[in-house]
Chains A and B, each alone.
Chain A
């Protein structure tokens, strides 16, 4: 059998790749994709703990995370569309009107 720590280690690696992407990427949509990657890494942790401890609660939490991710994608992409309409760019360095 595959040990639990392998699943948790894979999840840690995926989460870190997502976090690095949020910092080094400049395109708003790519940053969004990296956030989805981080959500999926945490989902893998929840499903593996749920499987190894035989508790269905973790998988229900993953189910709810997925619906929240769908809602987040819908609202976030709508925000990105309206930013693109106003500024003709998706570079997050240029969207700095809140900067003092």
Chain B
């Protein structure tokens, strides 16, 4: 188990999540892609922490990333709810109001 191994696995997870976040039409599926990306960040940060500087500073940073993940999913669910309520749809293609 090396830092490179951890980072390569995290890169693969991040790429899979990126594909999902860009390609999916359903809002909840986009959220799944974003969560895979944040999960990859958690894994990479954990690897960097353990192999480079295992001090409490990095540990606290990981807690912040976990908190960011919580915020992402809470707001994602709220946006999915409001979209469904106002438009009867949960597709990203139906929410292009800001597009010129």
Report whether chain A binds chain B.
no
Instruction: Name B's A-contacting residues (CB within 8 A).
Output: none
- What residues make up the interface of A, taking CB atoms closer than 8 Å to B? none
